[in-house]
Amino acid sequence: MTDLTGLTIAEIRDGLRRKDFSATELARAYIGAIERARALNAFIAETPDRALAAAAQSDARIARGDIRPLEGVPLGIKDLFCTEGVHSQAASHILNGFRPPYESTVTANLWRDGALMLGKLNMDEFAMGSSNEASYYGPVVNPWRANGSDEKLVPGGSSGGSAAAVAARLCAGATATDTGGSIRQPAAFTATVGIKPTYGRCSRWGIVAFASSLDQAGPIARTVRDAAIMLRSMAGHDPKDTTSADLPVPDYEAAVGAGMKGLRVGIPKEYRLDGMPPVIETLWEQGRAWLKAAGAEIVDVSLPHTKYALPAYYIVAPAEASSNLARYDGVRYGLRVPGDDLVATYENTRAAGFGAEVKRRILIGTYVLSAGYYDAYYLRAQKVRTLIKRDFEECFAAGVDAILTPATPSAAFAIGSKAKASPVEMYLNDIFTVTVNMAGLPGIAVPAGLDERGLPLGLQLIGRPFDEETLFRAAQVIEDAAGTFAPARWW
C-alpha cells in the first residue's frame, strides 16, 4: 500500500470513496508519523484517541454511503483555535491549563464536514512572531534543511507548527491564522500552500484574538487544490462574529485549473526593494513568465503607499493587541500568580505568563494608544491604512484581476540567528505580506522554486475582495509550472 501520509486531501477523498483504505488506517498512519517526528516540535498537544474515535465514525458513514466533503481527513489545528475540552492556549503560559467549553466556528465547520483532529499545533505566542521562536513550548523546527547542512531552520511564523506539520506529512492539512503574513510567510518557508482569505470570509469566533481588525483564519495545505477544498469548509457567515461577511461561499475547487486567459496580473514596482536577493528577483520574473505563458496579460502597477505599510502595521497591530490581551488577568482562567492584593496578582501573573515578544508588543500598543500619542501614532497609522487600501482599489478599478509579488524577502533562516538582532530585522520578514492585511484583501503563497541552497521560496498573489477563486486559478498555474516540493526526511 502507498504511504498513506503521502496522499493529498483530494487523493484521500477519492481513496476513501473507493475504499482503498479506511479512515482508521489513515489516522493510525498519521499518529505514527507524529510520534516519529517529535524532534520538529510541531505539535503542542496530541489527540490520538479523539482522532481514532472520529475515524471510526467516518468509516461507518462511508460504509452507509453518507460521505461528507472532508470525511476522514486528518488535520492539525493551530493552538489559536479554541477546541472544546482540548488544550487551547495560544502557545502562551498565561493560558496555562485552559480547555474551552466551546468550539471555534472554523473548527466546528471542519468537524461538520467530516474532518478529524490529530492535535494542536505549535505557534508564536498569541500569533506574535515571524519565526515560531516566540512560543512558550519552544521553537518549531523546519523539516527543510539546506543542502549539506544539519543547521536547524525556522519554519516561519506565527503558523510555523501548521506549516511544518503539513510539509513533514504529519497531517493532511492544517488551520492557520494570518494577521500580517502568518499563513503566507511560513507556507513560503516550507514549500506549502497557504491562503489568507478576505477579511470576513472566515469567522473569527473562538479564535484567540491578536489584532481584531487584521486577524483572519485560513488553511495551509500541500497543494492549491487541497487549500481550495479546505477553505470551502472553513469559510461562511457566522452571526456570532459581527465582522463575518454574509456572502455565499463559492466552490473554490471548481476554480482550480480554470487557467488565466482573459485575466490581467499586476506587477507592483514598489515591491522591488533595494538589496533584494537576486534569487528573489529571478523567481518573481519566472512567475511573471509562467502566468503570461498561461494567457494572462502582465501589466506594471503602482502601489505608492506600500513603503508605509510596515511601520503603520506595527502601530495598529500592537495597539489592538494591547487592548485584546488586557483580559488576561489571572482571575477568571489560566495562570494565576498570587500577590499581596489584586493589582499585585495582575502584575505577577502577567509578568510570569507573557513572553518577551508579547510584552514588547503590549508596551508598544499601550504607548501608541496613550493620551499624548494617540493622534501622533495610532490615528495617523489608520489614515495610512486607508491610503494603502485606496491604492489597491485604484489598481483593481483599472482592470487588474490579481497582483504578483514575492512572498518573503529570503528563504528560511537558522533558529537563533536573529535573536540578538534588532526586533525590526525580524519584523522586516513581513514586508511583502502586511499590505494585504491592512487592506483586508485575500492573498495566497504558493511554492515556486528552490534557492541555491535547496531551500523553498514562494510567490504571493493578491486578489480583489472576496475573489479567492482568481487566486486559486493563478496559483494552480504556478504550481503546474514549478511542481511540488517535499523535504528529505531526517527526523
Burial label for 237, CB within 10 Å (0-12, 13-18, 19+), is: middle
The active-site residue, picked from 162, 182, 244, 322, is 182
In a domain, 294, yes or no: no
End-to-end CA distance of the chain: 23
Q: How many domains does the chain have?
A: 1
* Residues in CB range of 486: below 8 A, 6 or more apart: 167, 169, 191
Strand partners, 195: 444
Q: Within 10 Å of residue 18's Cβ, how many Cβ atoms? A: 8
The CA-based angle 376-381-383, given to 5 degrees, is 105
In a domain, 309, yes or no: no
Domain containing 200 equals 8-258
56, 224, 154, 84: CA torsion to nearest 10 = -40
The CA-based angle 159-230-66, given to 5 degrees, is 140
Category of 206 on φ-ψ map: left (φ > 0), alpha (ψ -120 to 50) or beta: left
* Residues in CB range of 83: below 8 A, 6 or more apart: 77, 100, 103, 104, 107, 117, 120
In a domain, 130, yes or no: yes
* Distance between CA atoms of residues 446 and 484, nearest Å: 9
* Distance between CA atoms of residues 3 and 6, nearest Å: 6
In a domain, 208, yes or no: yes
Asked if 128 and 177 count as a contact pair (C-beta separation under 8 A), the reply is: no
In a domain, 372, yes or no: no
* Residues in CB range of 256: below 8 A, 6 or more apart: 224, 225, 228, 472, 473, 476
User: C-alpha grid cell for residue 9?
Assistant: 486531501
383 assigned to active site: no
User: C-alpha grid cell for residue 409?
Assistant: 524577502
Backbone angles phi, psi at 421, to 5 degrees: -80, 170
In a domain, 195, yes or no: yes
Question: Is the dihedral angle over the CA atoms 161, 162, 165, 168 positive or is it negative?
Answer: negative
* Distance between CA atoms of residues 115 and 410, nearest Å: 34
Outline where DSSP puts E strands in 417-463. 443-450, 456-463
182 assigned to active site: yes
User: C-alpha grid cell for residue 205?
Assistant: 469566533
According to DSSP, residue 153 is labeled: B
Q: Assign residue 248 the CATH number of its domain.
A: 3.90.1300.10
pLDDT of residue 387: 97
Q: Which helix (H) or strand (E) holds 351?
A: helix 342-353
Closest Cα partner for 244 from 215, 272, 285? Answer: 215
The active-site residue, picked from 104, 130, 135, 158, is 158
pLDDT of residue 2: 61
In a domain, 438, yes or no: no
Distances (CA, A) of 227 to 62, 224, 306: 23, 5, 28
Asked if 100 and 88 count as a contact pair (C-beta separation under 8 A), the reply is: yes
Q: Which helix (H) or strand (E) holds 267?
A: strand 264-268
pLDDT of residue 1: 46
Distances (CA, A) of 305 to 89, 184, 386, 425: 36, 21, 10, 21
Low-confidence spans in the chain with pLDDT less than 70: 1-2, 422
In a domain, 448, yes or no: no
User: C-alpha grid cell for residue 398?
Assistant: 483599472
pLDDT of residue 226: 98
pLDDT of residue 425: 73
